[in-house]
Amino acid sequence: MMRKPLIAGNWKLNKTINESQQLSRQLLESLGTVSNREIVIAPVFTALNAVSEIIKSSSILLAAQNCYPATTGAFTGELSPLFLQDAGCQYVIIGHSERRQLLHETNAFINQKLIGVIQAGLKPILCIGETLQQREDGQMLEILGQQIKEGLVDLTTDQMATVVIAYEPIWAIGTGKTASSEQAQEAHAYIRSLLQEIFNSSVAEQTRILYGGSVKPDNIDTLMAQTDIDGALVGGASLKAEDFVRIVRFL
């Protein structure tokens, strides 16, 4: 089965509502009818609805950068998948390393979010990745294994059909240091082998695994040429229409 390439732009804490609308209009103009790749953009919460209005009849999909694993209730300051869906989202990024590090999110908490997202009919993009220290200490595979196993606990094979995984080595995020295509391919192949072990070969075969970490117009082609790389989660380069468009149009 062919995995449709997915290119996602994580705008992180950037762009006001006006700026988000402007960037969305530029992307709509260049990418609004692209159908051979899935395109996802993740603005800040406050801009979600305004961006949704712009891209809603196009092939560009909307993601939130986080959520809380509840539906409604006394959860001051949080947003649940239900509200993200109400704002126009189809995807939710879960467990980004910035949240794991700055907000101490655990694999167990991330797993609850993942289940909440799926139950609300949205699709999760689960981020995993090792630090430089962990890589240098030879712990990379162990860390990835833990993040995958604990992050995907209790998911059925049917639910796995909605899950996208993003491998983002922390040392490559925002640093300009991309993992080499070989390093990325090695991690992606390992993640796929874990999916086979935990679920089955069709889950392993169908699940899209994105690479993230300093993806730019000049390295996307080589990354996408790797067997187990099915797309990219792009930070910095997704803030400039020209760069993101080129990344989506990888060769």
- Give the whole-angstrom CA distance, residue 172 versus residue 158: 32
Q: At 8, list the tokens.
A: 């996602």
Separation of first and last alpha carbons in the chain: 20
Q: For the segment 184-223, give every residue that binds ligand G3H (CB under 6 A).
A: 212-215
Look at residue 10 and give its three-state secondary structure: strand
236 is in an annotated binding site: yes
214 is in an annotated binding site: yes
> Among all residues, which ones are annotated catalytic?
96, 168
Q: Which is nearer to ligand G3H, 199 or 211 (CB)?
A: 211
Which among 215, 208, 136 has a CA at the least distance from the CA of 178? 215
Q: For the segment 97-116, give every residue that binds ligand G3H (CB under 6 A).
A: none
CA 16 from chain center: how many Å?
21
Asked if 168 touches ligand G3H (CB under 6 A), the answer is yes
Asked if 10 touches ligand G3H (CB under 6 A), the answer is yes
Q: Which is nearer to ligand G3H, 124 or 235 (CB)?
A: 235
Contact 19, 234 (CB under 8 A): no
Asked if 121 touches ligand G3H (CB under 6 A), the answer is no
Could you list the residues that contact ligand G3H (CB under 6 A)? Answer: 10, 96, 168, 173-174, 212-215, 233-237
Query: Which segments are annotated as binding site?
Result: 10-12, 174, 214, 235-236
